[in-house]
Amino acid sequence: MKIVLVEDSEVIRKQLVRLLAEVSGVSVIGQADNEDAALELIRGTSPDVVLVDIGLAEGSGMRVLERARQIGFAGKLFVLSNRDPDFYEMLCARHGADAFYDKAHSLDRLVADLQTAADAKHAS
């Protein structure tokens, strides 16, 4: 399963790449730190999942969600953020996200959901 990672912090991107390397059947095929680079990667690589932070170096993760759907991206859009999930989870869903994960408290759930998706893709 191919993943594009959209995160403005290089440190966090590296941590996530290490974490995702432990998920069987998952490969990070591209990384971006801003909105335009994210959309270029999505268009050029056709990932299965885009894992996006709300706050980016340039642009916005919310706009990545919207624009990805506008260009016909049919894969999963997962948001990984440290923003208040009580507020942002619903907002992200309205902008096209399939799931919202809190960076501090939901990494185990993210890994489990990605493993489930990778297993399902492999089985099909």
Q: What is the CATH number of the domain that holds 92?
A: 3.40.50.2300
The answer as to whether 85 is a domain residue is: yes
Give the pLDDT band of residue 85 (cuts 50, 70, 90).
confident
Give domain status of residue 36, yes or no. Answer: yes
**34 with 57: CB under 8 angstroms?**
yes
Burial of 78: CB neighbours in 10 Å, binned 0-12, 13-18, 19+: buried
Residue 124 lies in a domain: no
pLDDT digits (tens, 9 = 90+) for 91-101: 999 999 999 99
What digits encode the pLDDT tens for the residues 27-57? Answer: 999 999 999 999 999 999 999 999 999 999 8
pTM of the model: 0.94
Question: How many domains in the chain?
Answer: 1
Give the residue carrying structure tokens 């095929």. 29
Residue 104 in domain: yes
Task: State which residues form the domain around 94.
Answer: 2-119
Beta carbons of 84 and 49 less than 8 angstroms apart: no
